[in-house]
Structure 1
Amino acid sequence: MEKILGIFDKFPFLSDSAKTGFLSNLEEVEFNKGDLLAKEGEVSQYLYYFSEGAARSYYSRNNRDITVSFTLDGEFVTAMHSFITRKPSYENIETLEKSKAYRISHNTLENMFVNYPETERAYRLILEEYYIVLEEQQIFSKFKTARERYLELMEYRPKVIQKASVGHIASYLDMSIETLSRIRSKI
């Protein structure tokens, strides 16, 4: 539980009662490598905060997995479109290793907003961070060379390189495994 307390560093405006209310509504869960937190075709029920481990979000198209993001310890993850709209997910979220997370259900979170209105602001900030990451990823994949994309990943998210497979990294960077191998051999 000690690691979860760091979450509040991002939200210093939360009252002690809101923090206590939030913590009392979290459920600690553990996952093995390859477990699915969200599954395509199902409504995403939980917002997760990773305290240990890693996960990837991906879509399956034409018998191919397309990795769109990675989650590391200290980060939130959910199938955001599904979680917000309450419609079936387009994506899967899979753990890359044994992981520990805390989760809160959509319904419980909605009740938190009523009982502790300042938690809605914290949630908005989480959504803004999520949106910024998505927008940066769009720019990242459209306007940078394969080498530049890999170097930025090395600089800003080195843990991803340690935890994800070469195939997942190549998919995330929108390149073939062979191209990624060539780039890595020249660095």
Structure 2
Amino acid sequence: MEKILGIFDKFPFLSDNAKAGFLSNLEKVEFSKGELLEKEGEVSQYLYYFLEGAARSYYNRNNRDITVSFTLEGEFVTAMHSFITRKPSYENIETLEKSQAYRISHATMEKMFENFPETERAYRMILEEYYIVLEEQQIFSKFKSARERYLELMEYRPKIIQKASVGHIASYLDMSIETLSRIRAKI
């Protein structure tokens, strides 16, 4: 239970009632390695908070999957476009290892906003963090060399290198496995 209380570290402004209401609406879920939390073509129903484990978000394009982000312990994840718009997702979210998470449904979140308006601010902060990560990733892939991208990943998110496959990392960094292997050999 103590680990889940870390969910509130980013939201110190939440009242004790809002925290209790939020906790009472969370559902603990466990996933095996390779399990899909979200699937393209389906509407995203849940926002997940990872207690343990890791996941990756990816799209399918021309019979190839393209990794766009990773989720680690203490982070939120969902197929955000689908979760917000209530339209089918283009995205898949797959666990990279055995994982534990808490989830809350979109409908329950809406009720939380009505009952505890300050939770809407917390949700906005989650959305802002998601947007910043996406923008940084876009800049990261367009303006930095392959070597710079890998070095930054090593510096800022080293757990990804430990948990993800070489193919997933190469896809995320927008390079071939061969290029990634050459970079790693020189470091």
Shorter chain as denominator, the TM-score bin is: over 0.9
- Cα distance in 1 for partners of 2:29, 2:9 equals 22
Number of positions where the alignment pairs a residue of Structure 1 with one of Structure 2: 187
Which residue number in structure 2 is paired with residue 161 of structure 1?
161
Shift, 1:169, TM fit: 0.1
Whichever residue aligns with residue 35 of structure 1, its letter is: E
Aligned pair 1:24/2:6, yes or no? no
* TM-score w.r.t. length of structure 1: 1.00
* TM-score w.r.t. length of structure 2: 1.00
Which residue number in structure 1 is paired with residue 66 of structure 2?
66
Which residue number in structure 1 is paired with residue 151 of structure 2?
151
Which residue number in structure 2 is paired with residue 52 of structure 1?
52
Shift, 1:78, TM fit: 0.1
Q: Secondary structure at the match of 1:87?
A: coil
Whichever residue aligns with residue 77 of structure 2, its letter is: V
Q: Secondary structure at the match of 1:10?
A: coil
Unaligned 5+ runs, structure 1:
none
Q: Secondary structure at the match of 1:84?
A: helix
Per-residue Cα deviation, 1:126-149 (whole angstroms, up to 9, x for no partner): 000000000000000000000000
- Cα distance in 1 for partners of 2:77, 2:12 equals 21
- Cα distance in 2 for partners of 1:40, 1:121 equals 28
Of all paired residues, the percent bearing the same amino acid is 90
Which residue number in structure 2 is paired with residue 91 of structure 1?
91
- Cα distance in 2 for partners of 1:112, 1:66 equals 34
Shift, 1:7, TM fit: 1.1
- Cα distance in 2 for partners of 1:126, 1:171 equals 25
Per-residue Cα deviation, 1:24-62 (whole angstroms, up to 9, x for no partner): 000000000000000000000000000000000000000
Aligned alpha-carbon RMSD (Å):
0.3
Which residue number in structure 2 is paired with residue 82 of structure 1?
82
Which residue number in structure 2 is paired with residue 121 of structure 1?
121
